[in-house]
Amino acid sequence: MSSGILGKADLVAVTDTQVYVVPAGILSVVNINVCNRSSSSVLVRLALVSGFTDTIDSSDYVEYDVTVPANGVLERTGLVLHAAVSVVARASGSSVSVSVWGYEETA
């Protein structure tokens, strides 16, 4: 069982990035923090995808083109995820960090 930071990434603009995937046989409760480090607003997407392979279905999104202001933060908390679910993030610009933290336990 792990706890603390489970995944993090510095996003590349306009690119879907897998930040964290729940390991096999594990249940995770996570929080997601998106930090815009730039001096301009960005649009952010967050998706929870089962078996991520580069394709995101519209039903996978929990945030879609949400504006995160310059030097601002977007946070989602208390997400319960089963094995093989990926947290995928995307931003319209660079200088955006994503951290996933929480805990994992045997399902």
Digit-coded pLDDT (tens) for 31-82: 999 999 999 999 999 999 998 778 899 999 999 999 999 999 999 999 999 9
Determine the Cα–Cα distance for residues 43 and 32; give it in Å rounded to an integer.
Answer: 16
From residue 83, how far is each of 10, 53, 57, 104 by CA, in Å? 24, 15, 18, 10
3-106 classified as CATH 2.60.120.20: yes
83-99 average pLDDT score: 98
Neighbour tally for 93: CB within 10 Å: 16
pLDDT at residue number 1: 76
The pTM (predicted TM-score) of the whole model is 0.96
Query: How high does pLDDT run on average in the chain?
Result: 96
